[in-house]
Amino acid sequence: METTTLNIIDSLGVIDKQIKELEESARRLKKELIAKGVGKYEGDSFVAEVQHYTKSIISPKLVRELADEDFVNLVTQVQEVDAVVVRSL
């Protein structure tokens, strides 16, 4: 494999790892804020609002179990997807 491609792969791997670490940090901080309860919280530079609300979702698993195959086919959209999966060696 050419050097440029190797550099791209390693650079992407480092960034991917950093993003995962940052997302984990954000999850922990959000959990702490949620534990404080609903409300608005101010820092020196940012404001965070903890909200609580009801969200309706459609469960694909239940749709497949409860609907017939024709209905599932009618409401299923098939899309072409390009993806890059990064793993450490």
Which pLDDT score is estimated for 3?
Answer: 80
d(CA 83, CA 89): 19
d(CA 42, CA 39): 10
d(CA 29, CA 52): 17
pLDDT score of 1 more than 80? no
pLDDT tens readout for residues 56-69: 999 999 999 999 99
Residue (of 87, 68, 75) closest to 10 by Cα position: 87
- For the record, the structure tokens of 69 come out as 């195959």
